[in-house]
């Protein structure tokens, strides 16, 4: 189906798969956003086009890595443009296209459904309309509630005008797992504030669960009736949240540059909680990321690689991919020919997809680290951290983003884009899908 999608230009016919068309759409929005951010009305100082391009790429890919500060280098108009780009990138361009078409009662054709399926990472084109409505409803509701609660923190501190805008901006950024903040120190000044620690984290956890899971929970509300995907996401997310917070707290409890330098045990616990969940694509921080020890840095990188859920605002290889890897490994050692979980079985196709995703992800990150190591100054671990953060569309940095050379910026922008578009989508339009006409006899190779 996808290979029959094409675009016409004059008398020539250029065949483009839906993932390629979506990639071009994302590129177009990034370029438009760059131009808008480059306007004098959008900036307070001298923001070059390269800075604007990097910022727009980071916003559309909901990453959060920055070379200039959103709160000081851009005006309220520029900040509003960044928030709009975050919203577009987080929910997906095709979702907005479908909402606009629905508003004007324009039917959704099969080519548009195929592109929407790829944008939402779905297996079929059925029930896409209701899914889009669920996405829009969940996003608006969560962001509105989050903005109201955050305003009780920001308004008393900054006044009505800036306080309300700060609440709205950070609510959009949090739900879309963007990690953009109006403050250079992110959320560190509120390290012990329960409202900030709970609201911001709950919002990016909901956004990272995926719209399908949130909609499934809202409609069914019973564990037995939930889909297998929802069950895997809920269990996997819960385990990663607990492990993330506990391990980070144990590793950094006495580190004076992070948890050890806080004033009270309560602040340490809040910081351990926040820093344990934020690597899974959120990008906010309440402690100095650059002050982490090597072990905590590696642990954070592992969480950034995993990311959130499918059809969510988060990046990474996805929680369900990690679970399938674990199940496949367990089945191998148990000499089982199929994967079973929660009374359901998973086929070989899911395992092959995860293998492809893992292979592409490792290859992309390794290549990026190698290229950046050629010219970029800094510690190898810091460079690797930057690469993983960009590819996982997380946004955490150990301070190297602002010091990137031109080649480093290109690499990081490319990683953010690839991390958002998706390695499997990239492989989808690079490889032709066809059925083999000739079958060869099976054989064996020695492995391990």
Q: Which of 327, 242, 250, 313 is nearest to 281 (CA)?
A: 313
pLDDT of residue 11: 40
Confidence bin at 432 (pLDDT 50/70/90): very low
pLDDT of residue 126: 53
Inter-CA distances, 151 with 111, 159, 186, 193, Å = 42, 10, 16, 13
Q: Of the segments 87-96, 191-200, 310-319, 393-402, which one has the largest average pLDDT value? A: 191-200
CB 279 within 8 A of CB 269: no
Exposed / middle / buried, residue 66 (Cβ in 10 Å: 0-12, 13-18, 19+): buried
The residue that leads in pLDDT, 266 or 282, is 266
Residues of the chain above pLDDT 90, percent: 41
CB 222 within 8 A of CB 205: no
Mean pLDDT of 318-337: 86
pLDDT of residue 228: 85
CA atoms within 13 A on the CB side of 424: 20
Question: In whole angstroms, what is the distance from residue 285 CA to residue 295 CA?
Answer: 18
Across the chain, mean pLDDT equals 82
pLDDT of residue 89: 84
Residue 50 has pLDDT above 50, yes or no: yes
pLDDT of residue 177: 87
Task: Write out the H or E segment, with its range, that includes residue 382.
Answer: helix 380-391
Task: Write out the H or E segment, with its range, that includes residue 1.
Answer: none
Q: Would you state the structure tokens that stand for residue 195, as one six-digit string?
A: 């409202």
pLDDT of residue 429: 47
pLDDT of residue 403: 85
Q: How far is CA 67 from the centre of its chain?
A: 19
Residue 228, Cβ neighbours under 10 Å: how many? 14
The residue that leads in pLDDT, 70 or 98, is 70
Residue 214, Cβ neighbours under 10 Å: how many? 24
CB 118 within 8 A of CB 128: no
Question: In whole angstroms, what is the distance from residue 158 CA to residue 78 CA?
Answer: 19
pLDDT of residue 435: 57
Q: Which of 88, 23, 27 is nearest to 421 (CA)?
A: 23
pLDDT of residue 51: 94
Question: In whole angstroms, what is the distance from residue 238 CA to residue 358 CA?
Answer: 22
Inter-CA distances, 225 with 91, 171, 219, 222, 381, Å = 26, 31, 10, 6, 45
Confidence bin at 430 (pLDDT 50/70/90): very low
Residue 272 has pLDDT above 90, yes or no: yes
Q: How far is CA 104 from the centre of its chain?
A: 31
Mean pLDDT of 130-158: 86
Confidence bin at 40 (pLDDT 50/70/90): very high
Inter-CA distances, 281 with 16, 300, 317, 416, Å = 30, 11, 11, 12
Confidence bin at 214 (pLDDT 50/70/90): confident
Inter-CA distances, 264 with 94, 185, 368, Å = 47, 20, 40
Query: Lowest-confidence range among 16-25, 152-161, 239-248?
Result: 16-25
């Amino acid at each position: 189906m996808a290979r029959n999608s094409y675009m016409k230009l004059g008398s020539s016919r250029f065949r483009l798969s839906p993932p390629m068309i979506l990639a071009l759409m994302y590129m177009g929005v990034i370029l438009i956003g760059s131009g808008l951010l480059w306007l004098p009305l959008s900036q307070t100082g001298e923001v070059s086009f390269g800075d604007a391009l990097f910022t727009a790429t980071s916003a559309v890919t909901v990453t959060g890595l920055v070379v200039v500060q959103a709160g000081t280098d851009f005006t309220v108009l520029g900040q509003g443009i960044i928030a709009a780009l975050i919203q577009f990138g987080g929910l997906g361009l095709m979702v907005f296209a479908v909402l606009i078409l629905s508003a004007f009662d324009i039917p959704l054709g099969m080519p548009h459904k195929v592109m929407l399926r790829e944008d939402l990472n779905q297996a079929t084109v059925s029930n896409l309309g209701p899914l889009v409505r669920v996405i829009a409803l969940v996003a608006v509701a969560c962001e509105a509630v989050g903005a109201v609660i955050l305003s009780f923190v920001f308004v008393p501190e900054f006044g009505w005008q800036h306080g309300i805008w700060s609440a709205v901006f950070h609510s959009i950024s949090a739900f879309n797992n963007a990690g953009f903040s109006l403050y250079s120190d992110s959320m560190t000044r509120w390290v012990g504030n329960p409202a900030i620690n709970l609201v911001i984290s709950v919002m990016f956890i909901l956004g990272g669960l995926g719209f399908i899971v949130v909609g499934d929970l809202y409609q069914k509300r019973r564990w037995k009736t939930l889909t297998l995907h929802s069950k895997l996401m809920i269990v996997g997310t819960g385990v990663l949240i607990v492990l993330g917070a506990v391990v980070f707290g144990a590793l950094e409890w006495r580190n004076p540059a992070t948890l050890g330098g806080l004033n009270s045990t309560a602040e340490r616990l809040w910081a351990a909680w926040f820093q344990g969940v934020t690597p899974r694509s959120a990008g906010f921080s309440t402690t100095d990321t650059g002050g982490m020890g090597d072990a905590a840095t590696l642990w954070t990188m592992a969480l950034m690689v995993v990311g959130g859920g499918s059809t969510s605002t988060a990046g990474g290889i996805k929680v369900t991919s990690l679970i399938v890897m674990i199940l496949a490994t367990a089945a191998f050692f148990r000499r089982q020919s199929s994967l079973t979980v929660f009374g359901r079985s998973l086929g070989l196709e899911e395992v092959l997809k995860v293998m492809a995703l893992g292979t592409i992800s490792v290859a992309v990150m390794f290549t990026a680290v190698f290229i950046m190591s050629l010219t970029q100054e800094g510690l190898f671990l810091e460079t690797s951290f930057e690469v993983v953060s960009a590819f996982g569309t997380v946004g955490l940095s150990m301070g190297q983003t602002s010091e990137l050379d031109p080649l480093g910026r290109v690499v990081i922008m490319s990683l953010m884009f690839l991390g958002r578009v998706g390695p499997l989508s990239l492989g989808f339009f690079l490889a032709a899908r066809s059925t083999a006409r000739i079958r060869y006899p099976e054989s064996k190779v020695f492995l391990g």
